[in-house]
Chain A
Amino acid sequence: MAAPCRHVGHYIQRNSGFLRINVDQLFAGRSFSLIAALRQQAAEVPKESKEAIVIPRKKSWNREAVLEALASTVHRDPTAYPYQFQDDSYLSPRTSAEFKLFSLSQESGRAAAKYFVNNNPKFFTKDFAEPHIPCLMPESVALRLEEVSEAALRERISLRKVSAAVEMYDQLLQSGTPVSMETTHEMLDLICVYCDRDPVQEGAPILEDGEGGDDTKRRKVRGRRGTDLKFSWKENNNAERIFQQLPERDSRCYSALIRGMVKHGVFSKAFNMYTELLNHRLTADVHVFNALISAAPDVREKFSERWDLITELLNQMSQQKVRPNLLTFNSVLKALRRCGFLAKSLAPQTLNEMKALGIAPSLATYDHVLAVFYKSASSGPNNTDILQDILTELEGTRFTCQDPDDVFFFSSAMRICLDSKDLELGYKVHQLVEVGENWRLLGDSYQQSIYYGRFFNLLCMMEHVDVVLRWYARIIPSLYYPNPQGMRDLLQALDTDSRLDLLPAIWKDIKTLGHDNKVDLVGELLSLMARDEHSAEVQESFAQCALDVKSAFDGRSSMEWTTPSLSHITTLMLRANKLQQAWEMLQLFKAQNRVPSEALMNSFLSACQSSGAPHRAVELVQLSAAFCLPATPGLAKRALAELELTEEQRSILSEFEAAAEEEQ
C-alpha cells in the first residue's frame, strides 16, 4: 500500500503546478485521469525505441476506392424513398404497384433513349466529352461490311445478328471460302445461345414478326428474365445443319450444341450429342458437364436412375480430368432437389465433396440444401437444425452473386423461419442480409417483397408489439409495401398486445398504402375499434378515424357497406358522444338496405338519454318502426320510462307501444 501512495505523492509534487488548474474544479476524477495519461506517455517512450521498424507494404487502391469510402458513410434512411425515385418528387411510389410502374418506366425510358441514339447515330455525332467517353456515343448497330467475307461474318456475329450471320456463312461456303475454326465456334455459340433467332435488341420495340399476337403476349409475360426460354429448339435448325456440314468437329463445337440444347430444353438430344462426342474420343469441358447434370432429372424417371446418371457424369468428369466448379455442384444439388428421398443423404455428401475440393459454396448451394431438407408442404414444428447450422457457418460473410439462384436463399430461409415460427432464427437470417452488400442478393423487388413479407409476418406473430412497431417504422414503406394480409397481421399483433389505441395511425398508413379499398381489412379495423370501450381521448380519435373510413367508403362506388361496418361506425360515434353523426349513420342503414341490430338501437337510446335529446329518441323509435324491428315496443317503453318527454312525444311513443301490444 505504501508504494502506490509514494507514487502518487511524487506525482502530486511534480505536477503540482499543472494540477492547480484542475483543483479549482474540485473534480478529482479528471485530474487523476490526467495523471494517468501522463504516466502512460512516460511508459511508452522506452518501449518504442526497442521495436524494429516495419515498413508497411504499399497499398494499392482501385479507382472506386474513394467513392466506396464515401458511400460507406451514407446509411439507409428509413424515412426516405428509394434513391432511384428521389429525383422526381412527383413520382414517389407509395404502393408496390406504383413502385413497379415507376421503376419499370424509368428503365424503359432509358432503354428507349438508348435505342433511339443507337439507331440514329447521325444526330449524335458531336463529342462533348474531353477526354472522349466511348459509352456516351452511339453504338454501331448497323452493318457496315457488305461484301462476302469472313470479316463481315465476324461483324455480324459481334452485333449478334443471327440470321444475317447464318446467311453470310452460307454464302461463304457456297463461294468456297474456308471459314476459320474460331469464327465457326463463335458462329455456333451465337446460334445456340439465341436458339437460331435474332435476339430482341435492347430497347427495341417488340415487333410482331409473323408469329401473331400470341407470341407477343408470351414475351410480355416472361418479363426481363430468361430472354429466350420460350423459343423451342427446332429439329435440324441452322445450328445442327451447320454442325453436320462441318468437315471436322472438335469438342467446342459439341460444347456449343450441347449447351444450346440444354438451354432450350431438348435434353435427350443433348445426351445423344454427348454420346456422339464420346464416340469421337473427344473430351467435354466443365460447362458441358454442368449443363448435362442440370438436365439429368429430365431424362430419367426414377430417383435412383437420376442419381446414377449424375454419378456417371461426375465420374466421367473425374476420368477426363475436368475440374468441377461451383456451378457443377450447384447443378448437382439442384438436380438432387428432384431426387426425392435420395437427396437427404446425398446432399450433405455433395456439400462435403465441394469443401474437400476447396470450392466455397454460394448462397444457391445452401438454398438447394435447404430445399432438400424442408419441403414446403411439411407442417408442424420443423427441425431447424440445418438452417441454424448454415447460418452459424455463414455469420458475417459477405457474398457476391455467383449463381443466378443465389437470390432465392434469403426468402426461402425466411420461409423456414416462418414455418417453424422461430423468431431467433429469423433475426439471424436478417442479420446476414444486413452484412455488407448482401442485401443485393435479396433479388429483384418482387423477391425482396416476398422476403420482407415473411419477415414481417414472423415479427407480427412472435414479437412484442413495441418491437414490431419499431421494425414497422424501419422497413415500411422504404423497403417493403405490405399487402392487405400483412396489415391484417399487424392489426392482430396490436390486438394481442392491447395497443389498439394505435389503430388511427395504422389506418393512415393503410390509406397511404392504397389498401383503404379492401373491404375485409377495413372491416377488421372497424371491428377492432368498436369491440371494447376505451378512454375518452381514444374514443375521440377512434371516432375521427371512423369518420375518415366513412369518407373512404363514400368516395368509391366499388366498396359496399356491410351491416357490421355500419354498426361499428355508429357505435364509435355514440361512444364519442357524436349523436348527430351517429344519426346520419343510421340513415345510411336505410339507404344501403341494411338493418341495424337491436343492441345498436338500445345503445343509441341510452346515448339519447345521457345527452338529453328526447326528440332524437322519438325519431329513433320511429325509425325502428320503419325497419319493422321487433324491438320497437321495447324501445318505446324504455323511452317513455327513462326520458322526459312532451305530451305530443308521449302520445307518439305510446302509440307504438300500444300497436305492438295489439298485435300480440
Chain B
Amino acid sequence: MYRILSRAVCTARNHHLCVYECYVLPVKYDDVLRAFTGANTLSTCIIRQCEKKDVSDQNETTTKDVKPEVEAKANDGGETQQQGDGKVEQVLSKPSQVKSDGAKSGKEGLLDLLGAMKVEVTNKRKLKNLKTKQSFETSAQYKSKPAAMESTISMFQKATVQASAKSDALDPDIVAAASAAAATLPNQSQAESELLKQLRQRKALTEAQKKGDINNLGDLIADMKVGKKPARQNAWPADQIRFDDDGQGYTHDRGITGELANIRKRRNVFPTKRLNIFSPTTDQQGGESALAKPTLWDMDFANELSLSANQMPRNGFEEMIQWTKEGKLWQYPINNEIGLEDEASVPFHEHVFLEKHLEEGFPRQGPVRHFMELVVAGLSRNPYLTVQQKKEHISWFRDYFHQKKDVLSEADVDLS
C-alpha cells in the first residue's frame, strides 16, 4: 500500500516539476530523477534538492547503483520498503514526453503571440499625435487581461494586489501540492512561500526563454520589437508585449517612475500654505446648533439636497428601505425585541426579580406568601408581559387577599 501511495505522490509531483525543470535545467534533470528514486516518497525533498544541489548529489551516491531494487529509507524505522524497478522506468519515460510538451507549448505560445500582435497592428492611428504612448499601453494591457474592465495601467499602484494574485498565476495544482508538501515541514508557512517562490522563478525563467526563441524569428515580424521581460518577480505577468507603432522602440513604462513623479508633484500642487484666518480650535458651538430645532431654512436646504441627488431605488429591497424610512412599511425585525419598544428602557432585572413587590401588603410567611412566591416565580419567567402588567397582576392579588381578609382570618391564616 505504501508503495502505491508513494508512487502516486511521486508521479504527481514529478509531473509538475518536470515541466518546469526539464527544459530550463536539462543538466540537472538526471539528478532530479535520481533524487526521486532515492527519496521515493517525498516531493518536498525533491523540491529542496532542486534548490540545493549538494543534497541531491548525496542522494546520487546512495542510489546510483541500485537499479533493480531500490531500498529507500523514508524514516528512521525503515518501514517503507519497496520495489523500484517499475517506478524507475515510469519516471524515466517522463523526460521525452515532457520535452515534447515543452516544444509544443513553445510553438503554441509563438502562435498566440503572433495572433496577439496582428491585432495590435490595427491599433488606432488617429490619436497617435496626442497620446500615443498612453493609448498603446492601455490597449496592450487590455489585450492581456480581457476579463478586467478597468484600467490596468495602474498595475504598479496595486502591487499588493498583484502579489496576492501571483500565486494564482501559478497552476493551482502546483500551489496546492506545494502547500501540501510544505505542510509536512516544521516551518510550514515559510516553507510554502519558499516553494512557491522557487516555482515562480522557474516559470518566469521559462517564459523568458520562450520569448528568446521568438526573437530568433525576428524576420517574420520585422518592424516590431518584442518586449522581452526580464525574469524578475515584479515583472509579472511576463507574457505582455509592448511596442511602438512607429517602430521607434519600446514605449517607456509609466509605471513606477510615473508614480514617483506624481508623488513629487503632489507636494507642489497643493502647497501647505493656508489662509490662516481661523484657528483650529474645537469649540462647542457646533453641538449647540445641532440641538436647536430645525428651521424652515434647514428644511428647505434638505429638500434641495434630496432633489439634487438621484434617489431612485435600484431594486425591490431599496424600495422597501425607502418605504421603511417613510414609515409605510412594517419594519423588518432586526432582533427579537421587535414590537417591544415600550419595554426598551426597562432593565432586565425589573422583569425577573419581582419579590420586592411582595414586601408590602402580603404576609411574611404562610400559605398566602407561599402562593404569591409561586406567582412571582411564574411572572418572572413570562416574556410576554410588560413590567407594568406584572405589577398590576401582583397588585390585583394584593387587593384580592385584602378583600378576603375575613375569610382568611377565619381560616386562621395570618395576614398581618
A374 to chain B, nearest CB (A): 13
Contact across chains for B127 and A5 when beta carbons are under 8 A apart? no
A35 contacts B by Cβ under 8 Å: yes
Within 8 A of A (CB), among B316-352: 316-321, 324-328, 331-335
B412 contacts A by Cβ under 8 Å: no
A466 contacts B by Cβ under 8 Å: yes
Residues of B within 8 A of A340 (CB): none
Of A311, A389, A471, the contact of B266 (CB 8 Å cutoff): A389
Within 8 A of B (CB), among A12-61: 12-13, 16, 19-20, 23, 26-29, 31-33, 35-36, 39-40, 61
Find the A residue at minimum CB distance from B274: A352
A496 contacts B by Cβ under 8 Å: yes
Q: Which of A272-280, A422-430, A480-488 lies at the interface with chain B?
A: A422-430
Contact across chains for B334 and A422 when beta carbons are under 8 A apart? no
Of B4, B142, B184, B283, the contact of A467 (CB 8 Å cutoff): B142
Residues of B within 8 A of A31 (CB): 5
Contact across chains for A440 and B311 when beta carbons are under 8 A apart? yes
Residues of B within 8 A of A441 (CB): 309-310
A84 to chain B, nearest CB (A): 6
B216 contacts A by Cβ under 8 Å: no
B312 to chain A, nearest CB (A): 6
B117-147 Cβ-contact flags toward A at 8 Å (1 or 0): 0000011111100110011001100110010
Residues of B within 8 A of A350 (CB): 274-275
Q: Which of A9, A136, A189 has the most CB of B within 10 A?
A: A9
B262 contacts A by Cβ under 8 Å: yes
B241 to chain A, nearest CB (A): 14
B315 to chain A, nearest CB (A): 4
Q: Which of A1, A62, A136, A401 has the most CB of B within 10 A?
A: A1
Total residues of chain A contacting the partner, CB 8 A: 117
Contact across chains for A318 and B278 when beta carbons are under 8 A apart? yes
Residues of A within 8 A of B126 (CB): 496
B227 to chain A, nearest CB (A): 18
The docked-state distance in angstroms from the alpha carbon of A76 to that of B317 is: 13
Q: Which of A27, A311, A349 has the most CB of B within 10 A?
A: A349
A635 to chain B, nearest CB (A): 38
Contact across chains for B181 and A324 when beta carbons are under 8 A apart? no
A353 contacts B by Cβ under 8 Å: yes
Residues of B within 8 A of A404 (CB): 304-305, 307-308
A392 to chain B, nearest CB (A): 7
A394 to chain B, nearest CB (A): 13
A441 to chain B, nearest CB (A): 6
Contact across chains for B273 and A464 when beta carbons are under 8 A apart? no
Residues of B within 8 A of A401 (CB): 305-306, 308-309
Q: Which of B139, B153, B179, B328 has the most CB of A within 10 A?
A: B139
A439 contacts B by Cβ under 8 Å: yes
Within 8 A of A (CB), among B264-319: 265-266, 269-280, 282-283, 285-286, 289, 295-297, 300, 304-319
The docked-state distance in angstroms from the alpha carbon of A421 to that of B128 is: 11
Of A28, A286, A467, the contact of B5 (CB 8 Å cutoff): A28
Residues of A within 8 A of B306 (CB): 401
Chain B interface size, under 10 / 10 to 19 / 20 to 34 / 35 or more:
35 or more
The docked-state distance in angstroms from the alpha carbon of A259 to that of B153 is: 49
Number of A-B contacts (CB under 8 A): 302
Q: Which of A134, A287, A317 has the most CB of B within 10 A?
A: A287
Contact across chains for B151 and A323 when beta carbons are under 8 A apart? no
Contact across chains for A1 and B8 when beta carbons are under 8 A apart? no
Contact across chains for A6 and B76 when beta carbons are under 8 A apart? yes
A178 contacts B by Cβ under 8 Å: no
B144 to chain A, nearest CB (A): 12
Known: A83-B314, A356-B274, A444-B310. Contact between A26 and B179, CB under 8 A?
A: no
A468-479 Cβ-contact flags toward B at 8 Å (1 or 0): 001100100000
The docked-state distance in angstroms from the alpha carbon of A402 to that of B12 is: 61
A333 to chain B, nearest CB (A): 12
Within 8 A of B (CB), among A132-172: 133-136
Contact across chains for B150 and A1 when beta carbons are under 8 A apart? no
Known: A29-B12, A462-B135. Contact between A352 and B183, CB under 8 A?
A: no
Within 8 A of B (CB), among A401-451: 401-407, 421-424, 427-428, 430-431, 439-445, 448
Find the A residue at minimum CB distance from B72: A5
A544 contacts B by Cβ under 8 Å: no
Contact across chains for B308 and A1 when beta carbons are under 8 A apart? no
Contact across chains for A353 and B278 when beta carbons are under 8 A apart? yes
B55 contacts A by Cβ under 8 Å: yes
B66-110 Cβ-contact flags toward A at 8 Å (1 or 0): 000000001111011000000000000000000000000000000
Known: A23-B1, A407-B308. Contact between A67 and B42, CB under 8 A?
A: no
Residues of B within 8 A of A311 (CB): 275, 277
Contact across chains for A193 and B315 when beta carbons are under 8 A apart? no
Residues of A within 8 A of B188 (CB): 36, 39
B206 contacts A by Cβ under 8 Å: no
B1-43 Cβ-contact flags toward A at 8 Å (1 or 0): 1101100110111000000000000000000000000010110
B159 contacts A by Cβ under 8 Å: no
Residues of B within 8 A of A36 (CB): 179-180, 182-184, 188
Question: What are 23 A-B contacts with C-beta separation under 8 Å?
Answer: A3-B186, A4-B45, A9-B80, A11-B184, A12-B2, A26-B8, A28-B5, A29-B173, A63-B334, A74-B316, A83-B315, A185-B295, A189-B297, A314-B277, A348-B273, A385-B265, A403-B305, A406-B309, A407-B308, A423-B138, A427-B150, A444-B310, A464-B138
A-B pairs, top 10 by smallest CB distance, nearest first, are A9-B75, A36-B183, A32-B180, A71-B317, A352-B274, A427-B151, A401-B309, A28-B9, A353-B275, A28-B12
User: CB within 8 Å of B: which residues of A?
Assistant: 1, 3-13, 16, 19-20, 23, 26-29, 31-33, 35-36, 39-40, 61-68, 70-71, 74, 76, 82-84, 133-136, 185-186, 189-190, 193, 224-225, 256, 259, 286-287, 311, 314-315, 317-318, 321-324, 346, 348-353, 356-358, 381, 385-386, 388-389, 392, 401-407, 421-424, 427-428, 430-431, 439-445, 448, 461-464, 466-467, 470-471, 474, 496-498
